[in-house]
Amino acid sequence: MDKMTVRDVEVSGKKVLLRVDFNVPLDEKTGEITDDNRVRASLPTIKYLTEQGAKVILMSHLGRPKGKVVDGLRLAVVARRLSQLLGQSVGMAPDCIGPEVEKLVADLNSGSVLLLENLRFHAEEEAGDASFAQALARLGDVFVNDAFGAAHRAHASISGIANYLPSVAGFLLEKEVENLGNILENPARPFASLLGGAKISDKISMLENIIEKVDFLLIGGGMAATFLKAKSCEVGLSLVETEMLDTAASLMGKAGKSGAQLLLPVDVVVADELNEEAKIEVVPVEKIAREKRIVDMGPQTISNFSQELRNCQTVFWNGPVGIFEIPRFAQGTQEIAQLLANLKATTVIGGGSTAEVVNEMGLADKMSFVSTGGGASLEFLSGEKLPGVEALQNLA
């Protein structure tokens, strides 16, 4: 990575504003954290800073409060969990800017940690407001961005603040850029990209960029229906992005010209309803009934995909290959995850719901790298510049 990192600046005794991604899932009933992996991912940078004697001021968003204070989206629950993980008390500020916060920051000791309240309680955060960025910048001497999951947003705390403070990358952001960059620039071959999820439109730029770089492109999940429809298959009630049919056909053509092998499902699990009681059956893709919808890959497709993946040296996976939230429709996704966990290859998981799957299954430590950013990883692999990375200082 050609950007400066936290190793390249003096932080001892300095007030370090550290942008982290603590946008963790919360239990609707208890309000407790259900998956703390994003908090854990920030620990190496936080521990480094405290050990170096920095005064650490953490900034994050949580959920989508849309510029208003929402009690259920306060960050106190994260401060409690972080205190447990760090083994030291983490202070909780009542807001993220203002005189009261400035006083708390002024009173910090070296090695101590303060978490600011949800940035998105202020509409100015997502608007990238310069005055709000300046108000945040007044709290620190150095800015460190470790929030890769939000690095594709030109928000005040992501790119705006870099206009007012020396700005460098944290260890997590550095690791994300290096791992994702390596599979684009120098993947061990054969290189496969396995893509699922509901929509092609979410991944079109990445597909266009990666199609000439991969040896195999495997398409599953809801987005497979649009590809199948583009091949004149009946897909029943499955979601089809009709405006993407030409794009799907074009991508299949490009794959052929580039020498990449594009694999689509040959059989699927279909259901009449989207619940645990639904009637399901496995059918070839040519025999999907009009009143049914695709909910998972079929056994032959799982076998076909697995056969190709076993021969690969690099695999990038983004998007479940079935409606994994409903356990009955999760078999394909789970089998693929298990397969990748056992591959002797570089396996990179593209954040979002795919990261959720491998974390829930306890397989994250068996993958080469699990990104913390779903949207950010897709934009990075699209070849687009991420505002949160571009704003950081370049290496000399």
Active-site positions? 38, 199, 352, 375
61: left (phi over 0), alpha (psi -120 to 50) or beta: beta
Q: What is the DSSP letter of 326?
A: S
Judge contact between 111 and 53, C-beta under 8 A: yes
What is the identity of the amino acid at 58?
A: L
Cα separation, 314 vs 347, whole angstroms: 6
Residue that the structure tokens 């989206």 belong to: 73
Nearest to 359 by CA among 390, 320, 321: 320
Cα separation, 310 vs 325, whole angstroms: 26
Cα separation, 214 vs 153, whole angstroms: 27
Secondary structure of residue 269 in the 3-state scheme: strand
Name every residue whose Cβ is closer than 8 Å to that of residue 303 and which is 6 or more positions away in sequence: none
- Looking from the CA of 234 toward its CB, the CA atoms found within 13 Å total 11
